[in-house]
Amino acid sequence: MKEHHYHQDTLMIHEGYVDKEHQGSLAVPLYQTSTYAFETASQGEKRFSGVEEGNVYSRLGNPTVRVLEERITALEKGGATLAFASGMAAVSAILVHLTKTGDHILCSRGIYGCTFGLLSLLEDKYSISHDLIRMGSEEEIESAVTSNTVCIYIETPINPTMELVDLQAVMNVAKRHGLKVVVDNTFSSPFLQNPIEFGADFVLHSATKYINGHGDVIAGLLTGKDGEEIQKIRGSVQKDFGGIISPFDAWLLLRGLKTLSIRMERHTANAEVLLRFLKKQDLVDTVYYPYDVDNPQYEIAKRQMRAGGGLISFTIKGGKKEAQQFLDALRLIKIAVSLGDAETLIQHPATMTHAVVPERQREQMGITDSLLRLSVGLEHVDDLMKDLEIAFTQVGKTIQHQS
């Protein structure tokens, strides 16, 4: 599909697939195989020499997986992509690739709980240190760079506070110091944000979330600006650590990708309605959403995101008890740790996704006991509002009774 510059909506459906078998299949075939046979002289004109090109073993490459990787590469505007068995397999692969003992990683102050756990493991076992900083300005980022810093690792929007990191500011500092930049783009998906366009070296996703969109796959993706470097990772860290995706999961991701654009539009539309609803609730202290005009980072959001996406975080007046009472009062909205599914999900980060982070550091990240993260799904928004309204009313009555 190189002869024409297609829009993302079209690439999500077509990129990377050509019916080479000439069977007329519109769907990408599922090559559910571990091993590939070499052609012999009796099967064709070529003789086996041991140096033939092609598929060998699905840990090294698979035709179904290859279509997924090419499609994501086009969507993220990169050089090449690797698909992994989980988002954390992608995170660990890039950090292992970029670091060695004694190196330092500079991170945004808010990161996924398991990424925090991985960074702690790297420090404890391999003396690869890290710092978590707010990254509120170029000066702040610059002051945190050390002589052994090798990369900057960020989430934006940050999980779960929805805080933004100014991509251009990060790239400016990284360029001055020759640092690699890794961006976790899970919350936005390639449809809403493309960090490589701002200069990022690597973009990763927990494909479990929006890219799949149906809550039935665990997978990860890593796209690099430099395709040759991605192929080095394929032949080293991915091959030897072995965190590869299965062909069937890749096939499911390809199916989910076909509706990514319309799903993200609906996620965003529903979230914008719920944003206005939540801001009117007496029991809500603060609402966090990138495209909220009252958000002090709204201008950053407009510069680097095409829309606000489907995630909203908000704080309940009170604390952990009131937050948990609110969760217990919900009926339609499900309590679950994931996001990006068709179903609306809500969770309490301090005791769920970020429970591994020590309390002091959680609070520094802005993850308080009253914070809730809402992944807005595809249901009718009136039903979602009604469910939230009932929960607010029930918690309000409980507070009045206790007082």
For the annotated catalytic residues, the residue numbers are 59, 112, 184, 209
**Closest by CA position to 349, among listed 306, 392, 386, 312:** 312
C-alpha 303/C-alpha 166 separation (Å) is: 9
Q: What angle do CA 348, 90, 55 make, to 5 degrees?
A: 140
Question: What's the token pair of residue 231?
Answer: 């192929």
Burial class (CB in 10 A: 0-12, 13-18, 19+), 94: buried
Amino acid identity of residue 197, one-letter, is E
The H-or-E segment that residue 49 falls in is none
C-alpha 338/C-alpha 284 separation (Å) is: 23
**Closest by CA position to 133, among listed 357, 361, 372:** 361
Phi and psi for 57 in degrees, rounded to 5?
-155, 135
The answer to whether 344 touches 375, Cβ cutoff 8 Å, is yes
Q: What is the largest CA-CA distance in the chain?
A: 87
C-alpha 95/C-alpha 106 separation (Å) is: 12
How far is CA 1 from its chain centroid? 26
**Closest by CA position to 191, among listed 10, 373, 377, 4:** 10
The answer to whether 209 touches 338, Cβ cutoff 8 Å, is yes
